[in-house]
């Protein structure tokens, strides 16, 4: 049994590929990471340009009582949503990968799908179902319930965002669990720890990087979301930013507020970084990881299934029921409901390409930050990568409009520009997933490849990348699913006349043509489910992650 040192062995900060002994990482690695960082910095540069235009007016905007109150609201929302998402997502990942939960493969897929619902569609559906006079109330009406307590404001926004963000944690933790060597857990059990204590004391610390990656994504999502908070009447930072754009048509005041959001993100990242530590998460000694064992839930099997079922019902069932209802209404009224094939192709190709590019862009940044944790450059590049995700989509989209229309008119409003925008927006998803996965791979394996005559590049392609596969796939899945529902960048930067499922849903709901929104919404869920299924079908074929019953 190998000594899987999950706490005490400091991660080594040396890799044979380094030409300069003082500067970690090869030139090529640093150059690629630098390029990615520069791209991700564009929104920040744009915000500074717009802010400096109104330099004297900055301070009054910052100190307005309203700015402070929405700032406080956003922080509370992000904190609560992150906590909820971590608890639900971690539990769900463990239940669906490492236990004998009945129907776990079904739950694994179904509980991830809420990720593809645009948050405003989810919020519309939650209000229709759980609002004071929603569907639930009409079911309870025979019992004399005339009105349910209002879900608007903080509780509703928390509920909705938790339901739409826990899949981020779940996907990240799932990849980590699959790459986990079971020997430490087995050692703990053989030394007399109960299953629960072994999970807490041995597994949980090893899952930390994945949980942290998912938690960051959830927190940033909650900070930058506009659709759900506005429909659920919660006064958050993004709402204040949107009021400046749409009400006052004031790009500079909006930029000041958006910069505050960036500052908040850097604070969150710094907090996260301080708690990272120097632990190693890979196997310390030679040997092949043993097949993982499933924990037996015993009498808890059915309550656990009920837990998965109720979360899936709230997050996916309700939106599907409500869309189905819209569909039926439209059917009755004789609306034309035929889907358009080209729209599906557009959605899948743009999102698919963005997923691949995002993962490729994440690699140099992750390798630099994991293999050379002391590199300031790597840390800065990683922080830059998170900027896009913390900002409302409209800000990132306008920033890219500004740069590409003025300086790269040739690429403006082409599919390449759109993919670039997706990458800037969603790079952190690929980053988090790949990072958690790379932490599980011992640098010794790469070193062994080098001593056997591989060049650094060859070692990367033939040794590291294949081992990174769960992380790469998870990263691609996260980016793909999120791009499928992306709206502002698609509207601003896609080729003129380029429609996706998300733009169709938005166009229809915007003008209250709900029946017409139903078909693309159902297609969005269907196509995404199919993509997840294809991905996992490949993953299941892989023997390394096979789990013994």
Partner 1 sequence: MNIMTLKSLRIGIALLGLAIVFTLQACSRATDALVVYSGRTEDLIGPLLQEFSEETGIPVVVRYGQTAEMVATILEEGENTPADVIFAQDVGALGALSNHGRLHKLPVDVLAKVEPRFRSPQGQWIGVSGRARTIVYNTDRVNPDDLPATLDGFCEPEWKGRVGWAPANGSFQAHVTALRLLQGEESTRDWLECMRDNQTRVYAKNTPIVLAVIAGEIDAGLVNHYYLDRMQREQDGTLPAQNHIPTGGTLINAAGVGILDTSARVPHAEALARYLLSESAQTYFAEETLEYPLLQAMPLLGKRTPLEQIPTPDVDLSGLEDLEGTLRLLQDTGVL
Of 132, 155, 309, 317, the one binding partner 1 by CB under 8 A: 132
Question: Please, are residues 525 and 114 in contact by the beta-carbon 8 Å criterion?
Answer: no
**Do 111 and 311 meet the contact criterion of CB atoms below 8 Å apart?**
yes
Q: Which of 335, 444, 450, 529 binds partner 1 (CB under 8 A)?
A: 335
What three-state secondary structure class fits 292?
A: strand
User: Shortest Cβ distance from residue 310 to partner 1 (Å)?
Assistant: 24
Q: Which of residues 59-78 bind partner 1 (CB under 8 A)?
A: 66
In angstroms and rounded to an integer, the radius of gyration of the C-alpha atoms of the chain is 24
Contact between 455 and partner 1 (CB under 8 A)?
A: no
Extract the tokens encoding 254.
């909006």
Smallest gap, in angstroms, from Cβ of residue 527 to partner 1?
A: 17
Binding span for partner 1 by CB under 8 A among 9-17, 204-212, 293-301, 499-507: 499-507
Residue pair 177/207 in contact (Cβ under 8 Å)? The answer is yes
Write out the two tokens for 383: 């922080």
* 341-370: contacts with partner 1 (CB under 8 A): 349, 352-353, 356-357, 360
Scan residues 382-401 and list those touching partner 1 (CB under 8 A). 394, 398, 401
**Site residues (CB under 8 A) for partner 1, limited to 409-428:** 409-416, 419
* Binding flag, residue 134, partner 1 (CB under 8 A): yes
Residue among 199, 307, 402, 536 that touches partner 1 (CB under 8 A): 402
Q: Which of 70, 86 has the CB closer to partner 1?
A: 70
Q: Of 151 and 180, which has the nearer Cβ to partner 1? A: 151
Element housing 44 (H / E): helix 27-52
> Of 63, 336, 451, 496, which lies in the binding site for partner 1, with binding defined by CB under 8 A?
496
| Choice from 33, 231, 436, 521 touching partner 1 (CB under 8 A) | 231
Neighbour-count burial of 189, counting CB atoms closer than 10 A to its CB (0-12 exposed, 13-18 middle, 19+ buried) = middle
Binding range to partner 1, per CB under 8 A, among 28-36, 109-117, 132-140, 426-434: 132-140
Beta-carbon contacts of 64 under 8 Å, excluding residues fewer than 6 positions away, are none
The angle at the Cα of 375, spanning 369 to 381, to the nearest 5 degrees, equals: 60
Q: What are phi and psi of 402, to 5 degrees?
A: -55, -50
Q: Contact with partner 1 (CB under 8 A): which of 8, 511, 530, 533?
A: 511
- Does residue number 179 form part of the binding site for partner 1 (CB under 8 A)? no
- Residue 433 Cβ, how far from partner 1 at the closest point, in Å? 14
Burial classification of residue 81, based on how many CB atoms lie within 10 Å of its CB (0-12 exposed, 13-18 middle, 19 or more buried): buried
Question: How many residues of this chain interact with partner 1, rule: CB under 8 A?
Answer: 77
Q: Which residue has the tokens 């930067």?
A: 493
């Amino acid at each position: 049994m190998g000594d899987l040192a999950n706490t005490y062995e400091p991660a080594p900060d040396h890799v044979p590929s380094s030409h300069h002994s003082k500067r970690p990482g090869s030139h090529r690695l640093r150059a690629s990471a630098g390029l990615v960082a520069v791209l991700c910095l564009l929104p920040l540069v744009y915000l500074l340009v717009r802010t400096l235009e109104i330099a004297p007016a900055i301070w009054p905007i910052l100190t307005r009582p309203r700015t402070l109150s929405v700032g406080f609201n956003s922080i509370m929302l992000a904190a609560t949503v992150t906590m909820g998402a971590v608890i639900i997502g971690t539990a769900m990942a463990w239940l669906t990968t490492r236990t004998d939960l009945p129907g776990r493969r079904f739950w694994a897929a179904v509980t991830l799908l809420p990720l593809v619902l645009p948050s405003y569609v989810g919020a519309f559906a939650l209000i229709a179902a759980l609002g004071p006079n929603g569907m639930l109330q009409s079911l309870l009406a025979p019992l004399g319930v005339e009105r349910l307590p209002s879900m608007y404001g903080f509780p509703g926004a928390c509920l909705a965002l938790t339901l739409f963000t826990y899949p981020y944690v779940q996907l990240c933790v799932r990849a980590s669990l699959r790459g986990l060597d079971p020997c430490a857990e087995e050692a703990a059990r053989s030394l007399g720890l109960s299953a629960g204590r072994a999970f807490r004391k041995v597994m949980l610390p090893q899952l930390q990087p994945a949980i942290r990656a998912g938690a960051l994504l959830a927190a940033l999502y909650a900070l930058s979301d506009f659709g759900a908070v506005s429909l659920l009447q919660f006064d958050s930072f993004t709402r204040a930013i949107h009021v400046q754009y749409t009400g006052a048509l004031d790009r500079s005041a909006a930029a000041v507020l958006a910069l505050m959001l960036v500052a908040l993100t850097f604070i969150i990242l710094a907090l996260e970084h301080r708690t990272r530590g120097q632990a190693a998460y890979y196997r310390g000694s030679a040997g092949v990881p043993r097949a993982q064992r499933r924990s037996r839930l015993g009498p808890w099997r059915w309550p656990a299934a009920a837990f998965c079922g109720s979360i899936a019902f709230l997050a996916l069932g309700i939106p599907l029921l409500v869309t189905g209802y819209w569909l039926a209404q439209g059917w009755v009224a004789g609306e034309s409901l035929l889907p358009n094939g080209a729209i599906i192709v557009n959605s899948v190709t743009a999102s698919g390409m963005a997923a691949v590019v995002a993962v490729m862009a994440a690699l140099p940044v992750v390798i630099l930050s994991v293999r050379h944790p002391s590199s300031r450059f790597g840390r800065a590049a990683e922080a830059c990568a998170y900027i896009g995700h913390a900002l409302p989509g409209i800000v990132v989209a306008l920033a890219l409009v500004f740069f590409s229309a003025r300086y790269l008119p040739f690429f403006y409003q082409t599919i390449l520009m759109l993919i670039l925008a997706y990458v800037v927006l969603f790079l952190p998803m690929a980053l988090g997933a790949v990072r958690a996965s790379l932490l599980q791979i011992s640098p010794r394996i790469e070193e062994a490849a080098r001593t056997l005559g591989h060049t650094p590049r060859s070692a990367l392609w033939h040794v590291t990348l294949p081992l990174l596969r769960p992380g790469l796939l998870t990263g691609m899945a996260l980016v793909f699913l999120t791009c499928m529902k992306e709206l502002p960048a698609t509207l601003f930067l896609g080729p003129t006349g380029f429609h996706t499922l998300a733009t169709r849903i938005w166009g229809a709901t915007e003008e209250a043509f709900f029946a017409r929104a139903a078909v693309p919404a159902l297609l969005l869920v269907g196509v995404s489910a199919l993509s997840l299924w294809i991905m996992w079908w490949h993953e299941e074929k892989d023997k390394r992650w096979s789990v013994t019953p």
